[in-house]
Structure 1
Amino acid sequence: MIHFVLLISRQGKVRLAKWYTQYTVKERTKTIKQVTGAVLSRGPKLCNFLEFGETKLIYKRYASLYFCVGVDQEDNELATLETVHHFVEILDRYFGNVCELDLIFNFHKAYYILDEVLLGGHLQETSKRAIHHVVTEQDALVENAKNG
């Protein structure tokens, strides 16, 4: 099970944070600080998996963002990396070559897309086409509500 998803810039700024298990505000702050320090200090040739307390930290860098996921110790690392890549491909399809600014200015869309991909810490939908269809339909509903 996925416990959290963090998108962190190379400067250490959190661009997206989604928690699937209960953490207090203090625990969340501590976790973000520890994850940021651990991921940003690692070299590019090192493994993308880390032991992280009771969980396992899996991360992948895409352009200027690190996609970090905390999972159970027994979870498959490669399946988690594939889930991260799946999320990035959907963001790319929606935003057209997604960048950090897309996530800053359209964070609500990024959260909506993440909610379509993951539900309760588990992969919900594997079809990129289905997710893109749902997100574009939601955009149309929002536009209709604004105009009508």
Structure 2
Amino acid sequence: MIHFVLLISRQGKVRLTKWYTPYPQKQRSKVIKEISALVLTRGPKLCNFVDWQGYRVVYKRYASLYFCMCIDPADNELETLQIIHHYVEILDRYFGNVCELDLIFNFHKAYFILDEILIAGELQESNKKAVLRLVTTQDALVEAAKEEASSLSNIIAQATK
């Protein structure tokens, strides 16, 4: 089971967090600080698995971001690396060569994609095309709702004249 997902920039700024195990807010901040210090100080040629407080942190650096997942020690680290890569590939296809700014300005899309891939810390969808189809459908629904809201506000504005 994945306990949490962290996306951390090389400067140590958190870009995305998703918690599948409940942690109090104070402990979340402490965990983020510890994981950031642990991952950011490791050399590029070292293993992508780190033992941490009875768990295992699996991470992978893509461009300026570290994608980190905390798993149970008995879980498969290579499968977790595949899940990270799967997530990055879907982000790449959706944003067209995803970068840190895409995640900053479209964090809701990054969360939505992550929620389509993982549920309760377990892999839900491994088909990239299915996830992208769901995301584009969601985008179409949002655009339709915006257009409807815009037309309603125009009707209300004309009615109040």
TM-score (norm 1): 0.99
- 2:58 is matched with 58
- Structure 1 or 2, whichever has the larger Rg, is 2
Take 2:105 and 2:40, find their aligned partners in 1: how far apart are those partners? 23
- 1:2 is matched with 2
Take 1:145 and 1:59, find their aligned partners in 2: how far apart are those partners? 38
| Correspondence list, 1:1-148, <5 A | 1-148=1-148
Q: How many residues align?
A: 148
> Which runs of at least 4 in structure 1 moved beyond 6 Å after TM superposition?
none
Take 2:20 and 2:72, find their aligned partners in 1: how far apart are those partners? 12
Map Cα deviations across residues 36-63 of structure 1 (whole Å, 9 max, x no partner). Answer: 0000000000000000102100000000
Take 2:130 and 2:26, find their aligned partners in 1: how far apart are those partners? 37
Take 1:83 and 1:10, find their aligned partners in 2: how far apart are those partners? 21
Take 1:126 and 1:58, find their aligned partners in 2: how far apart are those partners? 19
Map Cα deviations across residues 85-114 of structure 1 (whole Å, 9 max, x no partner). Answer: 000000001000000000000000000000
**AA partner of residue 87 (structure 1):** Y
Take 1:20 and 1:47, find their aligned partners in 2: how far apart are those partners? 25
Structure 1 unaligned residues grouped into runs of 5+:
none
**AA partner of residue 121 (structure 1):** G
Take 1:49 and 1:39, find their aligned partners in 2: how far apart are those partners? 9
Aligned identity (percent) is: 68
